[in-house]
A and B are shown apart, each in its own frame.
Chain A
């Protein structure tokens, strides 16, 4: 067939036109004459076809990168649920999202950010569900970034947050496609960045960091209980060392008499005040944690043995710290790991040190002043127009619903009103399942 067409060509221009339209049918072909665009396309991996005596060039789409196979997520494990994770190629990631959400309302808008890296960044949202103001705001903030290179979504996160000086993260990230699709369905906007598997989700509320995908796949009492445990664990990791310092140094009357005498007995002969011991043990724990992240896998076992048994036990035997302190530090450390999001648990770990200083200076009122400053700060944070502590602050019964106790799936029939447009119904009413009743007309099965 090409031969027939070739024979009908009269001059070079017609030949060029024919090749553009029919020459390479399995990929896209474009004509281009601007030298900057030509260079960009070449760097993107496409092929340039130059023909003698023609002043335009043909760009043939041929970019294809070698990338990793889809594997399990490394940082967000779940007991039940899909086990695929995003990869470094944005086209793959987009495809993974489209596999979950097959509606034509899913819009993906792309930008190229970074003057030297020209990284492709895409916004994904559901038209008609996500609020217009949020979409507009994301577009505007992404558009104003001017930087030489974007290597990870963390760069974008810091460049578009509302309160960059705060310890608390205001944008969540994830590498699981099911989590991203669930967020998009709720009306959030996902930001995908090329060369990294971590996708950002905006807007974010504090309680998202306490939730994990597992809660929604397991049955609702298990999910609610797990969330409650995580909230308690967050508080423990924040205030347990400071409470220990405050109670044993300032408020000994609050401890029951026999326990107070037992703690006094265990502290006999320890040279440092309890404040000093607390700081020493906490720093040692932080060093151990950092070391654990960097070690190669084979040496990981040795670190846990050395850290846990030797340092803890030997320090107690030598009389450098008291036993109660070792228990406190261990419990704090374990609690800080039970929170699924690393950035949120780090905020708890970091804030524990100023609280220890305040507890050492003023006891329980010092901890109170510190915690109240933290809570005032949390209450004043916003994330893209949504208040950070929603729905806890709206003072009605929705406090008890989604953040802490998960409603069963047959009851979640509205989207959270602070994120999506109001009154969007996602489930038909009366979805609660039950056995078939005797009469044949009524069928209650979902």
Chain B
């Protein structure tokens, strides 16, 4: 049989990054941000995206020093065996929790708005099955499906734009910097709790990118395009609904999509919008679950994927999703107040830590070779 090393093209790499930027941010993110700073959530969004880009550059620079190895593998080279294994375990758990929380957001949409009487467990089991099928097939298939997700995202935003043209009031987003410049910068950190996973994700999938020289270009364009998607969404949402109503809702995007319509005959198309949004969230959960699985396999040294691991993985994900998501009050509190303390150190601390270790290592080499 013909076997090739797994590669994803640069355009697919960019599409994967776009897919992890916008789906969760526009649902829970817009409510959380509106409660924190109201009208200026789109400015926080811009600042948040721009903050990540230098860290992405850092991670790509570090990763290209160890060609063909993911962060778990070269973490053991850089930080020593023990710390490297600790890093592997931390990353496994981190990716697992984010992936579970992403699929959870989709299931919340279903059980709260579209299919209220269906049991939580059934929907969870079905969608974790789809995700584990994706993980079984591997990152190449995920990369190919992300092209479709990008297309679906473009159609989504086009429809949102067309439908809300008749309802926008510019005066709902003025004045700019309403809550004070310092507050706006502080809440850009909240944005980074949603999109910050991209740094660590790039660290895991960088070896598979086909053209390594242009990797930074694709990554940056992916982040910027994905960022512009959700910033555009914030702006339109504020202009149609106003900051007070957005702050009132738990998932403002559903109410937003319900309150816009294209002509008299195509109204209440929220299920259709959920169908377009679903592709991106499936890619996001899929690629994060793949990273979690590969981090696990690389930490423990297992080489081949066998079905038993996937089944155990899926069962654990169903359990975690059920316990996190069944109680919506618990999940909202966790996401809004407690999660930033976990995700920000990993997102921002990891690149800095690795960079420091690399610099120290290079200096030691230089001293040794003298």
Contacts and interface: CB of A to CB of B under 8 A. Distances in A.
B123 A365 contact: yes
A321 to B, nearest CB: 25
Nearest to A133: B2
Contact of A379 (B126, B145, B272): B145
**A contact residues, range:** 20 to 34
A368 B275 contact: yes
Interface stretch (A55-63, A271-279, A388-396): A388-396
Contacts of A395: 9, 11-12, 14-15, 147, 150
Interface stretch (A172-180, A246-254, A419-427): A246-254
Contacts of B159: none
A271 B157 CA distance: 42
A289 B2 CA distance: 40
A365 B277 CA distance: 11
Contact of A256 (B118, B126, B267): B267
Contacts of A382: 2
Contact of B2 (A253, A373, A385, A394): A385
B339 interface: no
Contact of A376 (B4, B145, B266): B145
Nearest to A162: B1
Interface string B94-117: 000000000000000010001100
A133 B130 CA distance: 34
B33 interface: no
Interface stretch (B46-54, B133-141, B195-203, B354-362): B133-141
Nearest to B110: A365
Given A250-B115, A375-B148, A395-B12, A368 B141 contact: no
Contacts of B15: 395
Contacts, number: 83
B269 interface: yes
The 10 closest A-B pairs by CB, nearest first: A395-B11, A393-B144, A379-B144, A385-B2, A253-B268, A380-B141, A380-B137, A379-B141, A395-B147, A256-B265
B279 interface: yes
A393 B137 contact: no
Contacts of A251: 114, 271
10 contacts: A251-B271, A254-B271, A256-B264, A363-B114, A368-B275, A382-B2, A384-B2, A394-B9, A395-B11, A395-B12
Main secondary structure of the interface of A (DSSP, over half): helix
B123 A137 contact: no
Interface in A236-259: 250-251, 253-254, 256
Contacts of B134: 376
B322 interface: no
B141 A376 contact: yes
Contacts of A362: 115, 118, 123, 126
A394 B138 CA distance: 17
Given A372-B145, A395-B150, 10 more contacts: A250-B115, A251-B114, A256-B267, A362-B123, A365-B278, A368-B275, A372-B278, A376-B134, A379-B144, A395-B147
A369 interface: yes
Contacts of A399: 147
B137 A365 contact: no
Contacts of A137: 2
A387 interface: yes
B268 A254 contact: yes
Contacts of B114: 250-251, 363-365
Q: Which of B114, B118, B130, B141 has the most CB of A within 10 A?
A: B141
Nearest to A255: B268
A389 B130 contact: no
Nearest to B107: A365
B11 A376 contact: no
B231 interface: no
A22 B193 CA distance: 91
Contacts of B126: 362, 366, 369
A372 B130 contact: yes
Interface string B248-265: 000000000000000011
B127 A254 contact: no
A375 B145 contact: yes
Nearest to B269: A254
Nearest to B10: A395
Nearest to B126: A369
A390 to B, nearest CB: 10
A251 B268 CA distance: 10
A365 B268 contact: no
B293 interface: no
B147 A364 contact: no
Contact of A369 (B130, B264, B268): B130
A393 B12 CA distance: 8
Interface in A141-157: none
A184 to B, nearest CB: 21
Contacts of B127: 369
Contact of A254 (B9, B133, B272): B272
A256 B118 CA distance: 25
Contacts of B123: 362, 365
Contacts of B9: 394-395
Contacts of B4: 385
Contacts of B14: 395
A217 B37 CA distance: 62
B279 A372 contact: yes
Contacts of B137: 376, 379-380
Contacts of A256: 264-267
A343 to B, nearest CB: 23
Contacts of A373: 130, 133
A394 B271 contact: no
B129 to A, nearest CB: 8
Nearest to B12: A395
Contacts of B138: 380
Contacts of B130: 369, 372-373, 376
Given A363-B114, A394-B11, A376 B133 contact: yes
A368 B269 contact: no
Interface in A377-436: 379-380, 382, 384-385, 387, 389, 392-396, 399
Interface string B1-32: 01010000101101100000000000000000
B282 interface: yes
B27 to A, nearest CB: 15
Nearest to A259: B265
A373 B275 CA distance: 14
B44 to A, nearest CB: 30
